[in-house]
Amino acid sequence: MVPESGDSASTRRKESKRNFLKFAMAFSTLLAVGGIAAVLKSITNPGPSAAGTAVSSGSRQFPRVKVAQLNDLTIGQPIAFNYPLDNEPNILVKLGTKAEGGVGPNEDIVAFSSICQHLGCIYGFQAPGSSPACNQAYRADRPVGYCCCHGSVYDFVNKAIVISGPSSRPQPQVLLDVDVSGNIFATGMGPPTIFGHNTGSNDVSGDLQGGIPVG
């Protein structure tokens, strides 16, 4: 073995130092690029915990279901339909007067769950001037829902808030949409949750059994 001269040893040390510096720079560049990519990914695609927070009641969603047609409706004559589940009745009615959350050309078509928020009886619609069969002494002075079980009255022009009676909550409003052909769709439910599903909660879609899981 030929002994290495002092000059060649020094050259080799300098070269390996240069190689090490090149490697270190390349490695730190990779780390920086990877870090930026990870940050970008977390912004555009939140992880499980962030998504869970944003959709706390949205792990389920409502179906879009055709429930009527504009031409089917006559002022003051309600149509019954089940939504969002097959056994959950609602009343849809054209009031003839603009209503909160109303749809259609005159914003007078509304729909509400017809399961009374008091104790779950099915209530009926009363047009202005009419009386329920169970109480001829009562005469509606506006479009209302009237529950014959215990007399709760809901104001259909104003999101079915309670006018009188023992109910402490309004009726859940069915969210409606009308397309260009006049088809009326149910697209969701407003709070509170339909009677019988964690009653009193505002976590409407999360509380309803049978909602369609997302993802």
Pick between residue 73 and residue 147 the one whose CB is nearest to ligand FES: 147
- Count interface residues toward ligand FES (CB under 6 A): 14
Q: How far is the CB of 151 from ligand FES (least distance, A)?
A: 6
Q: How far is the CB of 193 from ligand FES (least distance, A)?
A: 16
Q: How far is the CB of 55 from ligand FES (least distance, A)?
A: 33
* 3-class SS of residue 17: helix
Q: Contact between 196 and ligand FES (CB under 6 A)?
A: no
Q: Contact between 147 and ligand FES (CB under 6 A)?
A: yes
CA distance 65 to 174: 11
Pick between residue 84 and residue 132 the one whose CB is nearest to ligand FES: 132
Q: Read out DSSP for 124-169? A: EEE-TT---TT-TT---SSSEEE-TTT--EEETTTTTEEEESS--S
Q: Contact between 167 and ligand FES (CB under 6 A)?
A: yes
Q: Contact between 161 and ligand FES (CB under 6 A)?
A: no
Q: Contact between 160 and ligand FES (CB under 6 A)?
A: no
Omega prior to 192 cis, within 30 of 0: yes
Q: How far is the CB of 168 from ligand FES (least distance, A)?
A: 11
CA distance 96 to 99: 9
Please report, as a single letter, which amino acid is at residue 45. N
Reading the block at residue 6, the tokens are 């002092």
Q: What are the φ and ψ backbone dihedral angles of 14, each rounded to 5 degrees? A: -65, -40
Q: Contact between 149 and ligand FES (CB under 6 A)?
A: yes
Q: Contact between 152 and ligand FES (CB under 6 A)?
A: yes
Nearest CA to 61 out of 205, 167, 209, 207 is that of 205
Residues 83-142 that bind ligand FES (CB under 6 A): 116, 118-121, 123
Q: Which residues bind ligand FES (CB under 6 A)?
A: 116, 118-121, 123, 147, 149-152, 165-167
